[in-house]
Chain A
């Protein structure tokens, strides 16, 4: 059986037949008859040029299909067909569309698996652009800076700023980009991109500059992380993406965010916090960060974080290797914050984000289970409702 394929379709009930997409498509993959504007499956190369020019939103429709709809099928559409059901075993990686590139989709699906089901974006999140640049056509960015964030010799975490120059590279907080390390692997094939969360807000590391930042930890024998951590100002980097369409923040300054992270998992939360600070500097008591690290010296952004006023960001930093102190982990802090967490679970405008090493999942799950139990509730039931509402997000690696 052939693998299911993603097909780009246009919603005939929303489309106003302005043909802007057809005029924009660089390879004439879009055509129309008297009834509908349609996309030729055999021609479309997912370059996505047609998506932002559509005035209606009808263009951003996708179906995973065994047999693609032909042009004639699509000319006959009165409405979009339902997504066909796939047999058991279908998962985010085959039907989800966090990225248009199978490898990247798979990576993101794995990263999001901890949420216990198909991830959904917050309803009010901005629409993410995905997969504008890929292996065949990467974006070249220039390194503007590379700063060491930690003061721990065994723990080298870097803040890297990349400038996209004149290339359009629209990102949202919580999205990732792929970086392609130069050279080839043992089999002589070029390296695949590695995913890194963006740690700057949508309008740039510096407001209204077309740049973005990453938070990267140097890993022993990590080809890409060593490459990235060793970049110097002026170096050119091959970038794919952006990726990710669910781990996004609500566009609502009243939304309450609980952000739980370890290490470089803080990257998206730096972006979230800066977005709030820029878009709504007066918002108060709406963001809480629970951040675990071994020591203050190994906690990225320790200094800058402490400068953010508490009413903008309530900070709970927990350390596992402080001399003379008991080991404390994020789950211990969460248990102590039981009332606050419980309130958030029940608040329709409360959101939970978890980002960091996969190992943190278990502890957080256990803490959440006990918090839910103390209110006579089943954590998994609460979690599933929250996830379906786009209010529960996990990204671990």
Chain B
């Protein structure tokens, strides 16, 4: 048992999977490694590669000593392969095999389904690093720059985690898929990333915060479901990844919150009570609340698309076979098989939104999306508390699930954020009341000036309440390399 906690440093790749005893996989990973390092080096601007960043590195899977903080040059970050400790006698938690011992090897009949799920998950990890590659240049503080790089290196580690599964369990196919994860590239014409949201640009820091809040939260929900997998190595990998993912949620929630706080503060200082006095508020160098709402609308709806079709036989198969569970499956109180159960699914019929009971098996995507909506609403509520506390009358809202969708029953239907169906012309006229247009993007971009003095923050964002690793305000989170 203890061996599983102990991390081996005797190979190039730190791991707790006894890599040194598995020459085939070790060879495959070491062959893959230079390509990964090249990918990283080509991606992140050179001045940051040479800077010392105060990062946490996962060094153990025991919660007590799981990570340590120190200055690291990013290319020297120890990307390791760490699986949560094996749970003794773990059973398949759901579907037709429920109660059988969890699989330690890939069950033949589910091989391709499992491989596809791993590839899709793996594809998102480098995708987001690619989207965020230039943000370091406009970081509003060294604190934020550190958080960006922390998210980046950990997404990198999550790619490693998926590549390990592919190379360990899927033979030649797996190795090819692992190579393709480095071949595809966000926004590329020839070989784009597999999911739409990972081909959008992350042009500014508000987008980054919204992305980590909304899109990474989809990642978290997916990881939570995969952590329930009957395929034990997958479950253990994802459970450990979730510990790191929590930091990404933190960056998103506090990032947006600090932008809101600063805007409200500047409004108050200048005696502005009307949040819609946009020109005046922008004139003071902060992002007005209605524009923040527009960004929220866009990132939330893009992220909803990541959950796929409301009714999906693929999802039903994954659940029924025990490959993927539901969010917090172990805490749900039902038969975990869903043969006869139903689940209310929103549908679009005869121009109306209706809630219809559908077989719960085919509705697991919908259910996960509902769980996601509840989870995402929590932070929005806390942002609103902050706005109220600052004495401004404004409320952020999650738009209706029918608004601005590309996937599912509402795809390309002209719904407004309240869930009312409009005419095509009407919708197009009002679209940019709800979604950011080029001018909004240009304005936000104009605020993106780097601040690199320790303890100082750009004017459009408030400092954080507490430092990382309990560091004080002036801590130099990144020692920039000025070549």
* A and B assemble together: yes
Question: Which residue of A has the minimal Cβ distance to B6?
Answer: A166
New contact pairs (9) apart from A24-B243, A251-B471, CB-CB < 8 Å: A17-B378, A52-B65, A55-B247, A126-B69, A127-B469, A132-B64, A166-B2, A169-B65, A170-B68
Q: How far is the CA of A132 from the CA of B63 in the complex (A)?
A: 11
Query: Contact between A18 and B65 (Cβ–Cβ < 8 Å)?
Result: no
Q: Which residues of B contact A126 (CB under 8 A)?
A: 69, 469-470
The verdict on A56 contacting chain B, using a C-beta distance below 8 Å, is: yes
- Tell yes or no: B254 within 8 A of A by CB: yes
B residues less than 8 Å from A34 (CB atoms): 378
Given contacts A124-B472, A166-B5, A49 and B64 within 8 Å (CB-CB): yes
Cβ of B272 under 8 Å from chain A: no
**Interface presence of B62 (CB below 8 A):** yes
Asked whether any CB of chain A lies closer than 8 Å to the CB of B341, the reply is no
Q: Which residues of A contact B3 (CB under 8 A)?
A: 166
Q: Is B332 an interface residue (CB 8 A)?
A: no
Bound form: Cα–Cα A58–B249 in Å = 14
Query: Cβ of B6: which chain A residues have Cβ within 8 Å of it?
Result: 165-166
| Residues on A facing B (Cβ under 8 Å) | 13-14, 16-18, 20, 23-24, 34, 48-50, 52-58, 60, 123-124, 126-127, 129, 132, 165-166, 168-170, 208, 251, 279
CB distance from A98 to the nearest CB of B (A): 16
Please tell me if B439 contacts chain A, counting CB pairs below 8 Å.
no
Give the chain B neighbours of A54 by CB distance below 8 A.
Answer: 246
Residues of B within 8 A of A58 (CB): 466
Contact with A along B458-483 (1 / 0, CB 8 A): 00000001100111100100000000
Contacts of B253 in A (CB 8 A): 16
- B66-A168 in contact (CB<8A): yes
- B residues near A50, Cβ cutoff 8 Å: 63
In the complex, residue of chain B having the shortest beta-carbon distance to the beta carbon of A133: B64
Overall SS of chain B's interface: helix
Interface centre among A58, A126, A165 (most CB of B within 10 A): A126
Pick from A17, A49, A50, A60 the residue with the most CB of B within 10 Å. Answer: A17
Contact in complex: B242, A23 (CB < 8 Å): yes
B interface with A by C-beta (< 8 Å): 2-3, 5-6, 9, 60, 62-69, 71, 220, 242-243, 246-247, 249-250, 253-254, 378-379, 465-466, 469-472, 475
Task: Provide the residues of chain B in CB contact with A24, threshold 8 Å.
Answer: 63, 243
Residues of B within 8 A of A129 (CB): 64-65
**Out of B65, B243, B466, B469, which one reaches A20, CB within 8 Å?**
B243
- B326 to chain A minimum Cβ distance, whole angstroms, is 15
Q: Could you tell me the dominant secondary structure of chain A's interface residues?
A: loop
Task: Give Cα A23–Cα B227 distance, bound, in whole angstroms.
Answer: 12
Cα(A4)–Cα(B378), bound, Å? 35
Residues from chain A with a CB closer than 8 A to the CB of B378 are 17, 34
Distance, CA A279 to CA B70, complexed state (A): 9
Q: How far is the CB of B386 from chain A (nearest CB, A)?
A: 9
Shortest Cβ-Cβ A-B pairs, 4 listed: A168-B65, A166-B6, A55-B250, A55-B247
**A58 vs B254: C-alpha distance when bound (angstroms):** 13
Least CB separation from A34: chain B residue: B378
Which A residues touch B254, using CB under 8 A? 16, 56
13 A-B residue pairs with CB within 8 Å: A16-B250, A16-B253, A20-B242, A20-B243, A53-B63, A53-B243, A55-B249, A129-B64, A132-B64, A166-B3, A166-B6, A168-B66, A169-B65
* B248 nearest in chain A by CB position: A55
A123 touches B472 (CB 8 A): yes
Check A170 against B65 for contact (C-beta < 8 Å). yes
Give the shortest distance, in Å, between B470 (CB) and chain A (any CB). 4
Closest A residue to B465 using CB positions: A14
A53:B2 contact, CB within 8 angstroms:
no
Q: How far is the CB of B325 from chain A (nearest CB, A)?
A: 14
A18 touches B5 (CB 8 A): no
Interfacial chain B residues near A124, Cβ < 8 Å: 471-472, 475
Name the residue on A nearest B470 (C-beta): A127
A275 smallest CB distance to B (angstroms): 11
CB distance from A230 to the nearest CB of B (A): 28
Report B244 CB to chain A, min CB distance, Å: 9
Taking CB as reference atom, which chain A residue is nearest B227?
Answer: A23
- Asked if B242 and A16 make an inter-chain contact with CB atoms under 8 angstroms apart, the answer reads no
Complex contact B60–A18 (CB within 8 A): no
How far, in whole Å, are A18 and B378 apart by their CA atoms in the complex? 10
Residue ID in chain B nearest A26 by CB atoms: B63
C-alpha spacing A208/B470, complex, angstroms: 23
Do B242 and A52 touch across chains, with their CB atoms under 8 A apart? no
- A16 close to B472 (CB less than 8 A): no
Tell whether, in the assembled complex, residue B62 and residue A56 are in contact, meaning their CB atoms are under 8 Å apart.
no
Are B469 and A52 within 8 A (Cβ)?
Answer: no
